[in-house]
Amino acid sequence: MKSVSDASAVKAPVLPNAQTVLDVKHWTDSLFSFKVSRPASLRFRSGEFVMIGLLGDNGKPLLRAYSIASPSWDDELEFYSIKVQDGPLTSKLQHIKPGDQIILRPKPVGTLVHDALLPGKRLWFFATGTGFAPFASLLREPQTYEDYDEVIITHTCREVAELEYGRRLIDDIKQDEMLAELMGADFHKKIRYYPTTTREESPKMGRITTLLKDGTVFRDLGIDGIAPESDRAMVCGSLAFNHDIKDILEEFGLREGANSEPKEFVIEKAFVG
C-alpha cells in the first residue's frame, strides 16, 4: 500500500538533472541573468556551455545551449539570457524564481577555452548581445591573467541598457577582494573594456567590425593593430557577426583554432532560447 507521501511524489513532475534556481536579475525587457545550484560532479572549463531548459508542454525536456557565465571555480552556475516572447524556452524561462527548478545536462563543451589558443600577449574578447556570457566566465578565470599581459573586451549592443550586465560585471570584478586575492592585486589593470552601441547614442557608436576596419579601436586604445605574433581572440555573437569578425581576424593573419588544434582565434555562436 502506498503512503500519502509516496502518492504525492508520484504526481510531482520529475525533472531529470534538476538544479535549483538561486537568484534571478532582470536587466531589460529582453535580457535577464540567473544563478542555479551547481551539480557536485560538474567540472567545466571557463568559457564552455551546457544544455539547460525546462519540461516542455509535451512533458519532454526542452533544452538549449547556454554558455556558463560564472567561472569554473564558482560554487554556483550563472547564465545570461535573452527573453523571446514567443520563444519555446525563453518565453517560460524568463519567469523562473528562486526555489524553482531547471534542467541542466552536466556535459560541458565548447571552443572558447584557453586550451584552444596558442600562447600570446594580448587577448581580445569580441561579443555582441548575450554573446558576452562566456566572457563573463573567462574574465573571472585566473588563467586569463596568468596567460596574457592585456585583455580587451569589446561588447556591441543595439542600446545602452543592453550593456549594463557586462559593465556591472567588470566594475564588480575590479572591486572584488576575493578575486584580487586569487589573481593578484593588480590583475584588473589588465582589463580594457570597449563597449559600443549601434542604435542608441552612447560615448562610442558603431559596430565593432566597422571600428576595427577603419582603425578607430586601435586609435582609441593606443595600440598598433592586431598581429598573429602577439594577439589572440575569442568571438561570441550572432552568426553574421562571427562571420564578419572571422574575415577581419584572418585579414590580420590570425587563424581559427580548436581544442584539438590550438591557433590564434576561436569562435562560438551566441545561443538563443
Binding site for ligand A2P (CB under 6 A): 128-129, 156-158, 198-199, 207, 209, 238, 240-241, 244
Q: Please, which residues have CB within 8 angstroms of residue 22's CB and are 6 or more apart in sequence?
A: 34, 35, 36, 37, 76, 98
Q: Considering beta carbons, is residue 105 or 213 the nearer one to ligand A2P?
A: 213
What is the nearest approach in angstroms of ligand A2P to the Cβ of residue 203? 15
How far, in Å, CA of 43 to CA of 96, rounded? Answer: 25
Q: Considering beta carbons, is residue 182 or 248 the nearer one to ligand A2P?
A: 248
Quote the cell numbers at residue 32: 535577464
What is the nearest approach in angstroms of ligand A2P to the Cβ of residue 8? 44
What is the nearest approach in angstroms of ligand A2P to the Cβ of residue 197? 7
Q: Considering beta carbons, is residue 14 or 239 the nearer one to ligand A2P?
A: 239
End-to-end CA distance of the chain: 44
What is the nearest approach in angstroms of ligand A2P to the Cβ of residue 23? 25
CA 20 to chain CA centroid, nearest Å:
20
Q: Considering beta carbons, is residue 158 or 190 the nearer one to ligand A2P?
A: 158
What is the nearest approach in angstroms of ligand A2P to the Cβ of residue 26? 18
Nearest to 234 by CA among 206, 204, 214, 254: 254
Q: What is the dihedral of CA 233, 239, 244, 250, to 10 degrees?
A: 50
CB 166 within 8 A of CB 155: yes
Q: How many helices (H) and strands (E) does the chain have?
A: 9, 11
Q: Considering beta carbons, is residue 113 or 254 the nearer one to ligand A2P?
A: 254
How far, in Å, CA of 255 to CA of 252, rounded? Answer: 9
What is the nearest approach in angstroms of ligand A2P to the Cβ of residue 137? 20
Beta bridge partners of 205: 197
Q: How many CA atoms lie within 13 A of 94 on its CB side?
A: 19
Q: Considering beta carbons, is residue 28 or 37 the nearer one to ligand A2P?
A: 28
